[in-house]
Structure 1
Amino acid sequence: MAIHPTAIIADGAKIADDVEIGAYSIIGANVSIGSGTWVGPHVVIEGHTSIGKNNRIFQFCSLGAVPQDKKYAGEPTRLEIGDGNTIREFCTFNIGTAQDVGVTRLGNNNWIMAYVHLGHDCQIGDNTIFANNATLGGHVHVGDWVILGGFTSVHQFCHIGDHAMTAFSSAVAQDVPPYVMAHGNRAVPAGINAEGLKRRGFSPEQIRSIRNAYKALYRKGLPFDDARAEIETEAASGKEELAAFVRFFAAASRGIIR
């Protein structure tokens, strides 16, 4: 291990042999760090925190601190970080609470820019990009391939579906369906993330199908239940790209942006 002599590693921490830890970083007793991970200087990793392989964690991050929740009473909740993530300067990720699943999770291959906050019990998928100062309240769920613009704020308990995207300074107070772009305070729909879908290999037919689903939700003047039924019928006919809508509708908790 390449551990700077000024770093403080508590007894009990489980650190792979090739982990690098920079000057003045502090690693708690209930922390595990996987192979290939680099931890910069002045990082604090505490609590029951597990970090996977090949992550890069930049200076002044605080990972695994107790939740900013007055109900928290010292329960042994967790923070779990997967593999291949980049976590830039001054990010703050809190452990979960007993009132939810008790775990805050960040998946794999996420690009997390400076000053991002993940509140307690957030569940983040894979291959996301969170631009500077994106802030997530507690219990927020974010799917795969989501992009959050800088200074995006997400209200607690909101869900953001796969491949969705927010503009900078968006204030998300309700659920954002998959593939949808959102902007504004409060955030409203602004079309689908067509360019992102092209880059990820979606066919023109699949993108057309997603556009039609968007029209059902936002352009036809349908009540939500009718739009949902139309999309679920299309998904059942074999349009796999619409399965993300079906999963999203089943899990959504705050009502979708309209």
Structure 2
Amino acid sequence: MASPDIHPSACVSPHANLADGVVVKPFAVIEDNVEIGANCVIGPHAVIHKYVRMGSGNKIHAHAVIGDLGHDIGFDENLETWVHIGDDNTIREGVTIHRATNPETTTTLGNRAFLMAYAHIAHDCQVGDDVIFSNNICLGGHVDVGNKVVLGGAVVIHQFSRIGDFVMCAGFMAVRKDVMPYTMVAGDPARHFRLNTVGLRRSGVKGDKYKILEKAYREIRGGNRTLDGIEETEQVLHLKAWLAADSKRGLTGFLKEK
């Protein structure tokens, strides 16, 4: 495998660890204590600050900034806090990802994400696999985003909120509370309005599994958050565990049926 290909105008610390096949484009900056896995591409003018660890196959586009200090006025910038990024992510132009504020936590992005232009992931966020974040979305600090989540353009999510697996958020909206797995949300204020039918069926949740999940959704909307009496499919068990977990923000409301 080829050794790293670093453009002469790039500024790469001798204390950064770049694996074979890494390409660093013109005027990119890579600081100390950075680990970049095989076959990553660091685009022109991108900045990878210290304490960033990423896996292989990531494509970081122009002017993205990863590992900068969080927007937390109480943060001690001398602390060693990290950003961890998985494999095969596409991080488009102008994306910003801030490092954690506590040495016991990390800001984490999973695998195969597609982060469109100017998306922002704040300090201490946990983002799962296979997410799609549209242009100009903004996650506040400590937001937890599950797997296969789709956020429409300019979505803003309040700090400490939880966004469950398979959620789809309509564009141009503010999410102030937790959003339940497998659902779609829209409106101002944000409201659950139905299951994410297309996303679920693409992932094989259909037929009886879908009908049981739909029944569970109706029960939760009606106030039964224990889901007693609902057949415990994989999705229902996940829902029950998610609802039982700690929440700092509470649950987003539901659009009333007409």
TM-score by shorter chain over 0.5: yes
Paired residue type of 2:20: D
Paired residue type of 1:83: D
TM-score in terms of structure 1 length:
0.93
TM-superposition CA deviations, 1:16-42 (whole Å, max 9, x none):
021001000000011110001111100
More helix by share: 1
1:122 aligns with 125
Matched, 1:228 2:225: yes
2:51 aligns with 48
In structure 2, relative to structure 1, the CA distance for the partners of 1:203 and 1:49 (3 Å cut) is same
Paired residue type of 1:254: R
2:66 aligns with 63
TM-superposition CA deviations, 1:176-203 (whole Å, max 9, x none):
0001100122211111100111111112
Deviating above 2 A after TM superposition, structure 1's stretches of 4 or more consecutive aligned residues are: none
1:162 aligns with 165
Paired residue type of 2:81: T
CA RMSD of aligned residues (A): 1.3
Is this contact kept in 2: 1:3–1:20, CA < 8 A?
Answer: yes
In structure 2, relative to structure 1, the CA distance for the partners of 1:257 and 1:3 (3 Å cut) is same
Which runs of 5 or more structure 2 residues have no equivalent in the other structure?
254-258
CA distance in 2, matches of 1:38, 1:58: 8
Is this contact kept in 2: 1:232–1:242, CA < 8 A?
Answer: no
TM-superposition CA deviations, 1:194-234 (whole Å, max 9, x none):
0111111112111111111111122x3x3xxxx111x2553
Q: Secondary structure at the match of 1:228?
A: coil
1:141 aligns with 144
Between the two proteins, the alignment pairs up a number of residues equal to 248
2:200 aligns with 197
In structure 2, relative to structure 1, the CA distance for the partners of 1:101 and 1:164 (3 Å cut) is farther
The counterpart of 1:247, out of the listed 241, 245, 256, is 241
Is this contact kept in 2: 1:161–1:244, CA < 8 A?
Answer: no
Which runs of 5 or more structure 1 residues have no equivalent in the other structure?
none
Paired residue type of 1:131: S
CA distance in 1, matches of 2:104, 2:123: 10
CA distance in 2, matches of 1:247, 1:129: 24
CA distance in 1, matches of 2:151, 2:237: 22
CA distance in 2, matches of 1:187, 1:215: 18
In structure 2, relative to structure 1, the CA distance for the partners of 1:232 and 1:57 (3 Å cut) is farther
**Structure 1 residue 248: Cα displacement:** 1.4
Matched, 1:183 2:180: no
Paired residue type of 2:172: S
In structure 2, relative to structure 1, the CA distance for the partners of 1:215 and 1:238 (3 Å cut) is closer
TM-score in terms of structure 2 length:
0.93
CA distance in 1, matches of 2:142, 2:104: 9
In structure 2, relative to structure 1, the CA distance for the partners of 1:252 and 1:205 (3 Å cut) is farther
1:90 aligns with 94
Paired residue type of 1:96: A
Is this contact kept in 2: 1:95–1:102, CA < 8 A?
Answer: no
CA distance in 2, matches of 1:101, 1:118: 18
CA distance in 2, matches of 1:137, 1:102: 16
State, as a whole percentage, how many aligned pairs show the same letter: 37
1:238 aligns with 232
CA distance in 2, matches of 1:213, 1:36: 44
In structure 2, relative to structure 1, the CA distance for the partners of 1:251 and 1:244 (3 Å cut) is farther
